[in-house]
Structure formats: C-alpha cells, structure tokens
Amino acid sequence: MLVIPAVDLKGKKCVQLIQGDPNKKHLELNNPVEVAKKFVDEGAEYLHIIDLDAAFGTGNNRDVIKSIIKEVNVPVEVGGGIRSLDIAKELINLGVDRVIVGTKAILEPEFIEELNKDIGKDKIVLAVECKDGKVVVKGWKEKIDKTPIEVINDFEDKVGYILFTNVDVEGLLKGINVDIIKELIENTKIPIIYSGGVTTLDDIKALKEIGVYGVVIGSALYKGLIDLKEALKISKE
C-alpha cells in the first residue's frame, strides 16, 4: 500500500484546511518545497498535491508544483481546478505523474473520454467525494443523487484510479469509517486511494487490511499524530 503525504497549496504556501473551508486552516507553512522534500527524506515514495487556488478559481500554484517536481525524485499526483484538457496536459508536461479530476468529470463524463484519448487512463485519478452516503461535487457544496459505487461503476474502464474522500470525517482528525471503503473495494476493479480523517497508525493498518491501494495523509502528519516512517513501515509489512 502506498502512503501518500498531502501537500495542499494556497497562496504559494502549504496549508491544511478544516472540512475544505478556505477560511478555516489547521496550519500554514511558508515553504511547500521544503515540506515536500522533508516527506521524501523520511521515505515517502509518492506525493499528493492539491492546488487550492486553482480549485477555488483564485489563481494557481503551478510554479510551486514545478519547483516541487524539480526538487523531489518521486512521482506526484496533482488535483485542484483541472477543468480542461489543456490544463491536464500542461501539468503532465510539467512532469506530474497523475492528474486528479472530480466535479467536471462526474457532471460531464465526456471530459474523461477526452482525457482518456489524450493522456491515457493510467494518468487519470477520479475524485469521488461522499457525504451522508451520496456523492458531492463543486467543493462539497452540492449533492448528487448517486452513491459512490454508482459513480465509480460509470467510470469502470475509463480511469486508472479512484481517490475516495469521506467528507463526513475529512479534516476532523477523528478516524475513519472502514465499512464504506470496504464496500467500494469489493465492488470495483479500479484501485482505490483513500483520503479523509486518517488519524492513527491503526487507521493505516485497517486500510491496508481491506486492500486499499494508497492512503493520503494530511493533517495527522502535520500535527505529529502519525509518524511517517512508522506509517510507511506498516504499509510495507
């Protein structure tokens, strides 16, 4: 199982938001490149970068992403505001390994067809975000009348990975709900990367046991609740 530290970018800084709210931050660090390098020095083999400014439509942090890619020797996946083929291609050309797409892909499935033709499905991660059992879009503001598994089944042969976020627990540091993740793994062939609420090493053990492909960890690393080296050790056992 891959343990993937999260580097969320806003205003050229590394931040951690509470429940995705741009006005509520757990923390703010001035040098995202150094943060990324520290994770890699501790053994991370993959990084998860979200450009929050691009997601919120308030600019972008592509120069920072470029610097991170230049400075670290591990692959990175990038999400946030990827709403056109041109932006996806620009990121792939910068050296990004996989692009994460969400709202636009779910509401306009032809966008995935377009990406698939051009960059190939192995470069595409579909973000499926769930609140109260239903999928939410547009920064978790709108609920659609589909369950996560219904959405995932629509994309079965069209994307390389699913990034599943349980919004009910995201950013709260209160642990995870294993049952909902297990159900997804049992009902799709697409590898699942899990994100949201991972707080302890026991959470990581539980995710590994049910067969998650990767786990994204954010706040728990920054707050010192999870030691990255310990998490990596568990992931490889």
Q: Give the model's pLDDT for residue 173.
A: 66
Residue 129 known to be catalytic: yes
pLDDT digits (tens, 9 = 90+) for 179-213: 999 999 999 999 999 998 899 999 999 999 999 99
Domains of the chain (ranges, CATH numbers): 2-236 (3.20.20.70)
Q: Are strands 13-18 and 21-29 parallel, antiparallel or unpaired?
A: antiparallel
> Is 149 or 139 the better-scoring residue by pLDDT?
149
Which among 67, 94, 68, 73 has a CA at the least distance from the CA of 82? 94
pLDDT digits (tens, 9 = 90+) for 210-232: 999 999 999 899 999 999 999 99
pTM over the 0.85 mark: yes
Average pLDDT over residues 159-177: 83
Residue 63 CB coordination number (10 Å) = 10
DSSP conformational letter for 172: S
pLDDT digits (tens, 9 = 90+) for 45-70: 999 999 999 998 999 999 999 999 99
Catalytic residue among 8, 77, 170, 203: 8
What kind and span of H or E run contains 185? helix 178-186
Residue 8 known to be catalytic: yes
Please give the Cα distance from 173 to 5 (Å, whole number).
15
pLDDT digits (tens, 9 = 90+) for 13-27: 999 876 666 776 668
> Is 141 or 40 the better-scoring residue by pLDDT?
40
Output b/e per residue, 128-164; b: 16+ Cβ within 10 A.
bbbeeeebbbebbeeeeebbbbebbeebeebbebbbb
Catalytic residue among 51, 53, 129, 203: 129
